[in-house]
Amino acid sequence: MWQLADKKISSRLLIGSALYPSPDLMKKAITASGSEVVTVSLRRQNIASAKANAGEGGNDFWNLLQKLNLNILPNTAGCHSAKEAITTAQMAREVFGTHWIKLEVIGDEYNLQPDPFATLEATKELISQGFEVFPYCTDDLVLCQKLAEAGCNILMPWGSPIGTGKGLLNPYALKNIRERLPNITLIVDAGIGLPSHATQALEMGYDGVLLNTAVAQAADPIKMAEAFKFAILAGRNGFEAGAIKEKNLAKPSTPTIGTPFWHQS
Amino acid sequence: MITLQLNGEKKTLKAECSIVEAINVLQLDDKSFAVAVNEEFIPKSAYADVFLKEGDRIELLIPMHGG
């Protein structure tokens, strides 16, 4: 078990609920992943076709998700200012009944890079309103330090831009954040493509990984969800076990004493 | 008659009315939703007290898949 905000949970995988081929596959993949935290969003109700679209969101989706009995992490995806994000967070708190919020304030439309200034501004306000803020941020150390100083218990630096599947583009920066902020819960959010990317994050001491596309858009989402479950377990065990130090010089693992055919020259 | 924006679409109401009345008139049937007017969150407890005016921008949001 580990502590995520005010909850004790087992899995270190946080999973998204978007982009699955069907609601049934979403449900099965989330279950197969073993995740106990699922991300959701708020969107405009399509007034003209609310009933026709019921299967794509709204009450049907929310009822299905509630049956899984998971921790809900609403996001502010699509917000481009602190004001929009704060209002969306307030609306999410009412709809989903949780003070957890995955704060996303996009600064660049092309690579969906979070706006560090607006993210910090919104974080301060939301914390003052009693939210547990999970900020989606870049891997900039100073930004992460400022967010921690603002009162964040959890930080979620990106591995690479959302949906790219490029993995951890800057392991140096991510390791640096881990070393410098040892008491903050750190979760790599976004850019994960392969189970090995998740393993890498956990091996470097990250507390968890948040992903969506890598599972939802895999040819077999259920099998990929299971692959991530084991990859994350492997990475965490590897971290806890204490890895050997990397060396330049080869050192035989088989004993040299008693080597056959050896003789003094 | 007042004209306002509901989720980006123009809507007309016969007169200024509360959010509760607007929800009935517009036949919004989703149970789980939240409302913002002019980018300010309006908690459910205030629906009867907040009156919509000409030009108001209303966001009515429902749960959706998200990453």
Q: Tell me what pLDDT residue A51 has.
A: 46
Q: Tell me what pLDDT residue A54 has.
A: 40
H or E element that contains B12: strand B9-13
List the one residue out of A204, A115, A186 whose CA is nearest residue A148.
A186
Q: What 3-state DSSP class applies to A254? A: coil
A58, B32: Cβ pair inside 8 Å?
yes
List the one residue out of A125, A94, A95 whose CA is nearest residue A103.
A125
Enumerate the H helices of chain B as residue ranges: 19-25
* Angle CA A249–A255–A256, to nearest 5: 75
Is the CB of A198 inside 8 Å of chain B's CB atoms?
A: no
**Higher pLDDT pick, A58 / A53:** A58
Mutate to test the interface with A, among B19, B29, B32 (most CBs of A within 10 A): B32
Q: What 3-state DSSP class applies to A81? A: coil
Residue A47 has pLDDT above 80, yes or no: no
A58, B64: Cβ pair inside 8 Å?
yes
Q: Tell me what pLDDT residue A58 has.
A: 84
Least confident window among A22-26, A47-51, A162-166 = A47-51
Q: Tell me what pLDDT residue A91 has.
A: 98
Share of chain A above pLDDT 70, in %: 96
- Report pLDDT digits (tens) over B7-54: 999 999 888 899 988 888 777 766 799 999 999 999 999 999 999 999
Compute the count of residue pairs across chains A and B with CB atoms less than 8 Å apart.
115
Residue A146 has pLDDT above 90, yes or no: yes
Residue of A nearest to B42 (CA): A91
Tell me what the mean pLDDT of segment A208-216 comes to. 98
Give dist(CA A210, CA A189) in Å, integer: 5
Q: Tell me what pLDDT residue B26 has.
A: 76
* Phi and psi, residue A41, nearest 5°: -135, 180
What angle in degrees, to the nearest 10, is found between the helix axes of A58-67 and A23-33? 30
Instruction: Report chain B residues touching chain A, CB-CB < 8 A.
Output: 6-9, 26, 28-36, 39-41, 43-44, 59-67
Q: Tell me what pLDDT residue B25 has.
A: 78
Give dist(CA A19, CA A30) in Å, integer: 12
Residues of chain A numbered 157-176 and touching chain B (CB < 8 Å) = 162
Tell me what the mean pLDDT of segment A155-170 comes to. 97
Non-local (6+) Cβ contacts of A257 within 8 A are none
Span between the terminal Cα atoms of chain B, in Å: 41
Share of chain A above pLDDT 90, in %: 90
Please state, rounded to an integer, the average pLDDT across all residues of chain A. Answer: 95
For B65, the closest of A48, A57, A87 (CB atoms) is A57
Give dist(CA A101, CA A205) in Å, integer: 23
Tell me what the mean pLDDT of segment A23-47 comes to. 94
Chain B residues close to A59, C-beta within 8 Å = 30-32, 62-63
**Residue A258: both structure tokens together:** 């008693």
Give dist(CA A160, CA A253) in Å, integer: 37
Predicted complex: ipTM over 0.90: yes
